[in-house]
Amino acid sequence: MKHRGLSPLDGRPVEIETSEGRITAVRPCDSADHWIAPGLIDVQVNGFVGVDYNSPDTPLDEIDRSIEVQRDTGVTRLLPTVITGSNENIRGSLANLAKAARACAGRSSIQCFHVEGPWIAAEDGPRGAHPIDHVRGPSIEEFKQFQDAAEGRIRLLTLAPEWPGSPAVIEHMVDAGVVVAIGHTAAKTQDIRDAVAAGATMSTHLGNGSHNLVPRHNNYIVEQMASDQLAAGLIVDGIHLPPSFVKIAVRAKQPERVVLITDAAPPAGSTPGNYHFGHIEVVLAEDQSVRLPNGQLAGSALSMDRGVENLMLFADLSLEQSLRAGTSQAAAAVHMDDRLGFLEIGDAAEFFLFDFDADTKAVSVREAIC
């Protein structure tokens, strides 16, 4: 098959030829009516259009529907994310997602998962909206239970490294091929450095899941910003992080170590109202924030196409740089080896076609191609 579009690399029209699910040729062509980019990759999404990935009982056809809607936003791959809960609920949710990865029509989009918790900070602030009743310390045995339930599909796991024994658990998971991210943490500087030494390579939604007030210099946000070993996931919805923080974080990490994420909660893409999210109830407000009844943020209603726009607007990035944060850099962060290039021969044949307004930075998705 052949697909044409303007390349974000230089704005020139290209023709991309594919065969057997791979890009086989990329060549200049005479014209194109729209832009083309690799399909977006969201490595942290808890649900979409009312579909909750944190329930063992979510019907597979509903998971499939959520995948299709996300493809309308340019997403061709995502890591369904299961948050802090009981051992039974986490294992049940992962087993249900594993069934979806085998049986859903859109299964190629959900081949691996993200577990965010339950091994996070128990204190208010860093814990975020995660239910306190199910927060606990890390365990190699529990990780094995989770991975067995997921049929080996856990690719990313977020934890707080200040728990006793965390370095050994991190080393075990890294040896098992899992990417370990630091998040929802109240860690001291040495805890973070020990986690990095043990193999942690990412920060989950940097700047969120934290205290409202931290020491001005020595704190877990600055320490993660300063670590060249950690890629930084950022929720760029204008609600979780002010534009100034996004700009500073991008400059600190450098654009190539930024990973665009949504942290979308089940209400994303839906109308305002009350929704179920794992063990908790959340509200989608008129301003598109997702909150607990007490007003605390609980995930987002962001979509990846809007995130691409906001990275350009908040951090003065180019279209190419913003797209890389949600494509090749996301793939590199979670070791998605068939998506490491940007419209390069040998990569998976996954694209999205879109219109782009250079003045407003508006991205309007036409079609996702898997």
Rounded to whole angstroms, the Cα distance separating 160 from 116 reads 10
Question: Which amino acid is it at 185?
Answer: T
pLDDT, residue 247, reads 98
The domain in which residue 267 lies consists of: 39-339
Selection from 314, 187, 189, 310 nearest residue 251 by Cα? 314
Number of H helices, E strands in the chain: 10, 20
Rounded distance, CA 145 to CA 93, Å? 12
2 within domain boundaries: no
Is residue 24 assigned to a domain?
no
What CATH number should be reported for the domain holding residue 172? Answer: 3.20.20.140
Judge contact between 182 and 166, C-beta under 8 A. no
| Residue 230 counted as domain residue | yes
Task: Indicate the angle between helix axes 304-315 and 243-253, nearest 10 degrees.
Answer: 80
Give the number of other Cβ atoms within 10 Å of residue 244's Cβ. Answer: 10
In a domain, 13, yes or no: no
pLDDT given at position 142: 98
Count of domains forming the chain: 1
Single-letter residue type at 120: I
Q: Which residues contact 167 (CB under 8 A, 6 or more apart)?
A: 161, 194, 195, 197, 198
pLDDT computed for residue 328 by the predictor: 98
Which of 83, 69, 19, 105 minimizes the C-alpha distance to 292? Answer: 83
Q: Is residue 12 part of a domain?
A: no
In a domain, 290, yes or no: yes
What is the rounded distance in angstroms from the CA atom of residue 339 to the CA atom of residue 337?
A: 5
* Most distant CA pair in the chain, distance: 61
pLDDT of residue 194: 98
Single pTM value for the model: 0.97
Q: How far apart are CA 267 and CA 300, in angstroms?
A: 8
| Domain-located, residue 244 | yes
Rounded Cα distance between 53 and 65, Å, is 12
CA distances from 172 to 29, 114, 136, 187, 196 (A): 49, 17, 18, 20, 13
Residue 16: which of 250, 165, 24, 311 has the closest Cα? 24
3-state secondary structure of 171: helix
State the pLDDT at residue 1: 92
Token readout for 144 is 């094995």
pLDDT per residue rounded down to tens, the chain (370 residues):
999 999 999 999 999 999 999 999 999 999 999 999 999 999 999 999 999 999 999 999 999 999 999 999 999 999 999 999 999 999 999 999 999 999 999 999 999 999 999 999 999 999 999 999 999 999 999 999 999 999 999 999 999 999 999 999 999 999 999 999 999 999 999 999 999 999 999 999 999 999 999 999 999 999 999 999 999 999 999 999 999 999 999 999 999 999 999 999 999 999 999 999 999 999 999 999 999 999 999 999 999 999 999 999 999 999 999 999 999 999 999 999 999 999 999 999 999 999 999 999 999 999 999 9
Q: Cα separation of 309 and 314, whole Å?
A: 9
Q: Would 81 be classed as within a structural domain?
A: yes
Which distant-in-sequence residues (6+ apart) come within 8 Å of 360 by Cβ?
Answer: none
DSSP of 277-346, one letter per residue? Answer: ETTEEEEE-TTSEEE-TTS-EEEE---HHHHHHHHHHHH---HHHHHHHTTHHHHHHTT-GGG-SSS-TT
Cα 75 to Cα 63, 168, 191, 304, 366, distances in angstroms: 14, 35, 35, 7, 12
